[in-house]
Amino acid sequence: MARSIGSATVSFGMVSIPVKLYSATESGKDISFNLLHKDCGSRLKQQYTCLKDGQVVAREDMIKGYEFAKDQYVTFTAEELKELEEKATQTVDIVEFVPAKAIDPVYFEKAYFLGPDKGGDKAYRLLIKAMQESGMAALASYAARGKQYLVMVRPGDDDRLVMQQLHYADEVRSAKDIVVPEGDIRDQELKLAMQLISQITSETFEPQKYEDDVKKRVQAAIDRKVSGEEIQTAPSESPKAQIIDLMEALKASLAKKDAAPATAEERKGPKRAEPAKEAPAKKKKSSKE
């Protein structure tokens, strides 16, 4: 059973939809390590040290400062910073609707599921249906934890609303800063590339097919160490030779795909008709008969 982490109200025009928020992802699933003292294995405690006099500074003696020039700071008290925070309204205030495909996924950050709260069932279903029919997604403002967030509200695959936290424009770097040399693509190269794409194309995205191999490998190593087993480090592999010729790389990729092991059904091949059984030969009559 999903557990709600909060409640809010989706608002557009004069329509208000009470909703519950649910985390769509689990970052806590990551494997984390603690820093230990190499000599005795005890946990280490983080401390802040003054660069000027080398003294350890207690948390109650700390203030925050913004460096506006080299080694020059303007300081703020906790009360001053608190006053600058955005006041939480618990409202997802829809500003406009845009085509869902118009938002580049590079702007996507954390995602939440939105479920209907008491009294919001019909309006919730109506908003989903309207966005599905129109192909639109909603851009909205949402204040929480002292910050103001730009979010996108869209219908998910299971007829549930998804609230996608977005980066602001000044948080996304411009791809135009990346230099891409000009050049011509030959028709034959494009044809082979399209053929390769078609060979490994699926109609749907099935996330369960993909797993974090590194995470599994780390967890397996942890389990072996906990059980007292020593881990042997494997020698590093030699770097593979790089194929420079684009046509050869495409042909090699296609050949590798064609040479993939056949499935059990493919290996059996088409069923052949069973040969007709010969009638048993008649016995010759003996001379005694």
Here the tokens at position 21 are 């928020």
The fold of the 6-26+85-171 domain, in CATH, is Ku70; Chain: A; Domain 2 (2.40.290)
Are 215 and 31 in contact by the 8 Å Cβ rule? The answer is yes
Whether the predicted pLDDT of 113 surpasses 90: yes
Helix boundaries (H) for 158-262: 187-199, 213-226, 246-258
The larger pLDDT score, comparing residue 87 to residue 140, is at 140
Whether the predicted pLDDT of 70 surpasses 90: yes
- Taking the C-alpha atoms of residue 275 and residue 286, their distance in angstroms, rounded to an integer, is 33
- Taking the C-alpha atoms of residue 230 and residue 224, their distance in angstroms, rounded to an integer, is 7
Long-range contacts of 10-17 (CB under 8 A, 24+ apart): 10/92, 10/94, 10/114, 10/127, 10/140, 10/153, 10/161, 11/91, 11/92, 11/93, 11/94, 12/93, 12/94, 12/127, 12/138, 15/123, 15/127, 16/123, 17/116, 17/120, 17/123, 17/124, 17/127
Inter-helix orientation angle 246-258/187-199, to 10°:
30
Are 113 and 162 in contact by the 8 Å Cβ rule? The answer is yes
- Taking the C-alpha atoms of residue 149 and residue 171, their distance in angstroms, rounded to an integer, is 12
Q: Report helix, strand or coil for 217.
A: helix
The dihedral built from the CA positions of residue 240, 244, 248 and 251, taken in this order, carries a sign that is positive
Among 166, 18, 20, CA closest to 95: 166
pLDDT at residue 271, as a whole number: 47
Are 5 and 148 in contact by the 8 Å Cβ rule? The answer is no
pLDDT band of residue 13 (cuts 50, 70, 90) is confident
Whether the predicted pLDDT of 248 surpasses 70: yes
Domain segments of the chain: what residues? Answer: 6-26+85-171
pLDDT at residue 276, as a whole number: 45
Pairing type for strands 91-99 and 136-144 reads antiparallel
Are 92 and 145 in contact by the 8 Å Cβ rule? The answer is no
Here the tokens at position 218 are 């780390």
pLDDT at residue 289, as a whole number: 40
Whether the predicted pLDDT of 96 surpasses 70: yes
pLDDT at residue 242, as a whole number: 62
Mean pLDDT of 84-101: 88
pTM greater than the 0.85 cutoff: no
Are 7 and 117 in contact by the 8 Å Cβ rule? The answer is yes
Whether the predicted pLDDT of 273 surpasses 90: no
Q: What average pLDDT does the chain have?
A: 84
Q: pLDDT > 70: what percent of the chain?
A: 84
Whether the predicted pLDDT of 239 surpasses 80: no
Whether the predicted pLDDT of 42 surpasses 90: yes
- Taking the C-alpha atoms of residue 6 and residue 84, their distance in angstroms, rounded to an integer, is 23
Whether the predicted pLDDT of 6 surpasses 80: yes
Mean pLDDT of 237-249: 70
pLDDT at residue 88, as a whole number: 76
